[in-house]
Structure 1
């Protein structure tokens, strides 16, 4: 995995991780959920469905973090059209573009506290980002 991440220009700093799905192995810098254990948040609703093992507890936290990430990208895609489609820019430029969109999003939220546009966009869910046919 190290050769792959280095070849693609990815560098995971010591103590940090990429959150992955089950198609990736748990390797240095990559955290995937445990296979064969409950994972999706909908499976944890109710008092009788609380995690019973350390692996299930890990999967609940992993799933929760993944949902936050999905909602964040959904919100950013709702605000910035450049993030909605396929990109033909080099990966370095794509990373800078995402960072610029995040910075601008935070600036708008901080400076435009009374904007109706901001309120509408902050309520968008991640389904916007994953629905095919949306432009």
Structure 2
């Protein structure tokens, strides 16, 4: 059974088009039909880009994050949080990372459209906030 992972106070998770569009998981419009949807897609892409770059930076610095972490979910969260804290310490001490192009985002499948309720809700978000 699916559970909402965020409350209903205008807090959403963003996903690429490989995920189903839900009330709590917003995905980009495949074929934007109006200006609201175009602006929504731009904001969605910019926000997701920042998050994906941040994850890419952490994965570059810490090899444990390259693959599946085979630990209990609570321990996995602690490992990821520890990597983020250590990364910040490295940044404060100006410890360099290997140079790589982090601007290239991975390609994502553009074929999953989601359920009707999620698609309608995404339209409301786009028209209300964008």
Normalised by the size of structure 1, how large is the TM-score? Answer: 0.63
- Whether contact under 8 Å (1:17, 1:31) holds in the other structure is yes
- 2:56 is matched with 74
In 2, Cα distance between the equivalents of 1:108 and 1:122?
15
The alpha-carbon deviation at position 57 of structure 1 amounts to 0.6
Root mean square deviation, CA, Å: 2.7
SS at match of 2:19: coil
CA-to-aligned-CA distance 1:20-61 (integer Å, 9 cap, x gap): 1223343232111112139xxxxxxxxxxxxx7010010011
- 2:47 is matched with 65
As a proportion of its length, which structure holds more helix? 1
The alpha-carbon deviation at position 73 of structure 1 amounts to 1.3
- 2:17 is matched with 22
Matched, 1:12 2:10: no
Gaps in structure 1 of 5+ consecutive residues = 39-51, 131-135
The alpha-carbon deviation at position 125 of structure 1 amounts to 1.1
Higher RCO (Cα < 8 Å, 6 or more apart): 2
Gaps in structure 2 of 5+ consecutive residues = 107-130
The alpha-carbon deviation at position 81 of structure 1 amounts to 0.7
Number of residues of Structure 1 aligned to a counterpart in Structure 2:
105
In 2, Cα distance between the equivalents of 1:69 and 1:79?
16
Partner of residue 56 from structure 1, selected from 28, 38, 55: 38
